[in-house]
């Protein structure tokens, strides 16, 4: 713990909302105040010096750039929707990844943003308004209760599933690098993690059951194997039977899943200390969905 790079030395990241501003213009405008570089791995992500304060920068206030960390910005990019696709964001508030999807799709196609919690819907709508996206439909409801066979979902080609999780990958950071912030031997924590994992498994199985879906991303901001590799491993037989395979998001990224099952090398992890936030990403792809989009 004594050899970790202090937070003050880690870069700040912002994601350019290409619905409102192109990357080169963002670099020029932000470059007036600080040295700006492209991240190089995640498209549209810019790196600024540590501790750059952008909270009230005009580009942030008007939604031209979003203050979104690198790990969080990898999720929608890993899903990689085609511009004309119909896409479902299953657990969407406050909507950072929803509006990232909209930008990646160039404002085309259609995104359904599902959210269960009424209070969080307000934040979701604010994020969407700020982004300027006009191809997002907000759906107040339980993702698990959506019927994949219903007409509105029959053409969904990609699903981003970023369900409720323990948040241990980001709280650990706030707690001054006291890792892990959850004690798996503590019965209350263990019970909470088991409940979360059980929801996460149901939600992942549900996402894979949409008839036309070709790409599914499962992500958490947890560092716990039980919410990450274990969820994927337990759903893998079902995924395989439906024609899905694990694929490697950002193959050049060297932090992969914990080696607890064959295929975990396809998974992506970020480190809560070294990468500032502990995220987990799994990508499922199938080439032959049950229902093919008629051309």
Pick between residue 36 and residue 121 the one whose CB is nearest to ligand SAM.
121
Of 31-39, 108-116, 208-216, 268-276, the window that binds ligand SAM (rule: CB under 6 A) is 108-116
Pick between residue 162 and residue 230 the one whose CB is nearest to ligand SAM.
162
In sequence order, what DSSP letters do the residues of 16-70 get, joined into one string? Answer: E-TTT--HHHHHHHHTTTS--EE-SSSTTEEEE-TT---TT-HHHHTTSEE---H
Pick between residue 51 and residue 122 the one whose CB is nearest to ligand SAM.
122
Distance CA 192, CA 196 (A): 6
* Residue 221 falls in the annotated catalytic set: yes
Pick between residue 25 and residue 122 the one whose CB is nearest to ligand SAM.
122
Distance CA 14, CA 275 (A): 15
Binding positions for ligand SAM, 134-173, rule CB under 6 A: 142-144, 162-164
> In whole angstroms, how close is the CB of 105 to ligand SAM at the nearest point?
16
Binding positions for ligand SAM, 205-244, rule CB under 6 A: none
Establish whether 91 is an annotated binding residue.
Answer: yes
Of 58-66, 91-99, 230-238, 282-290, the window that binds ligand SAM (rule: CB under 6 A) is 91-99
Distance CA 20, CA 81 (A): 19
Establish whether 84 is an annotated binding residue.
Answer: no
Q: Is 197 in the site for ligand SAM (CB under 6 A)?
A: no
Distance CA 74, CA 275 (A): 12
Pick between residue 36 and residue 115 the one whose CB is nearest to ligand SAM.
115
Q: Is 202 in the site for ligand SAM (CB under 6 A)?
A: no
Cβ neighbours around 254 below 10 Å, total: 8
Residue among 223, 280, 281, 225 nearest 249 (CA): 281
How does strand 110-115 pair with strand 156-161? unpaired
From the list 19, 165, 221, 232, the catalytic residue is: 221
Q: How many chain residues are in contact with ligand SAM, going by CB under 6 A?
A: 18
Tell which one of 96, 166, 200, 222 touches ligand SAM (CB under 6 A): 96
Establish whether 198 is an annotated binding residue.
Answer: no
Q: Is 277 in the site for ligand SAM (CB under 6 A)?
A: no
What's the burial of 71, exposed, middle or buried (CB within 10 Å: 0-12/13-18/19+)?
buried
Distance CA 33, CA 54 (A): 10
Establish whether 93 is an annotated binding residue.
Answer: yes
Residues annotated as part of the active site = 221
Question: Which residues does the annotation place in the binding site?
Answer: 91-97, 115, 142, 162
Residues lying near ligand SAM in the complex (CB under 6 A) are found at 91-97, 114-117, 120, 142-144, 162-164
Question: Which residues does the annotation place in the binding site for S-adenosyl-L-methionine?
Answer: 91-97, 115, 142, 162
């Amino acid at each position: 713990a004594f050899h970790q790079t202090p937070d003050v030395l880690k870069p700040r990241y912002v994601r350019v909302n290409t619905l409102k501003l192109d990357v080169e213009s963002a670099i020029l405008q932000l470059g007036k105040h600080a040295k700006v570089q492209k991240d190089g791995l995640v498209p549209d992500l810019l790196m600024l010096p540590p501790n750059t304060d952008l909270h009230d920068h005009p580009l942030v206030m008007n939604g031209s750039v979003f203050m979104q960390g690198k790990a969080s910005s990898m999720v929608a990019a890993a899903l990689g929707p085609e511009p004309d696709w119909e896409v479902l964001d299953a657990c969407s508030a406050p909507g950072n990844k929803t509006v990232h999807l909209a930008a990646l799709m160039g404002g085309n196609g259609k995104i359904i943003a599902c959210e269960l919690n009424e209070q969080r819907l307000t934040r979701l709508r604010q994020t969407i308004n700020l982004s300027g996206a006009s191809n997002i439909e907000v759906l107040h409801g339980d993702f698990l209760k959506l019927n994949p066979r219903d007409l509105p979902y029959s053409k969904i080609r990609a699903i981003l599933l970023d369900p409720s999780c323990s948040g241990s990958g980001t709280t650990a950071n706030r707690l001054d690098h006291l890792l892990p912030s959850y004690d798996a031997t503590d019965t209350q924590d263990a019970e909470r993690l088991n409940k979360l994992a059980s929801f996460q498994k149901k939600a992942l199985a549900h996402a894979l059951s949409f008839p036309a879906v070709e790409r599914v991303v499962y992500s958490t901001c947890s560092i716990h194997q039980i919410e990450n590799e274990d969820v994927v491993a337990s759903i893998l037989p079902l995924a395989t039977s439906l024609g899905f395979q694990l694929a490697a998001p950002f193959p050049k990224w060297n932090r992969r899943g914990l080696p607890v099952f064959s295929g975990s090398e396809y998974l992506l992890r970020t480190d809560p200390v070294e990468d500032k936030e502990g995220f987990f990403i799994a990508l499922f792809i199938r080439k032959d969905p049950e229902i093919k989009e008629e051309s």
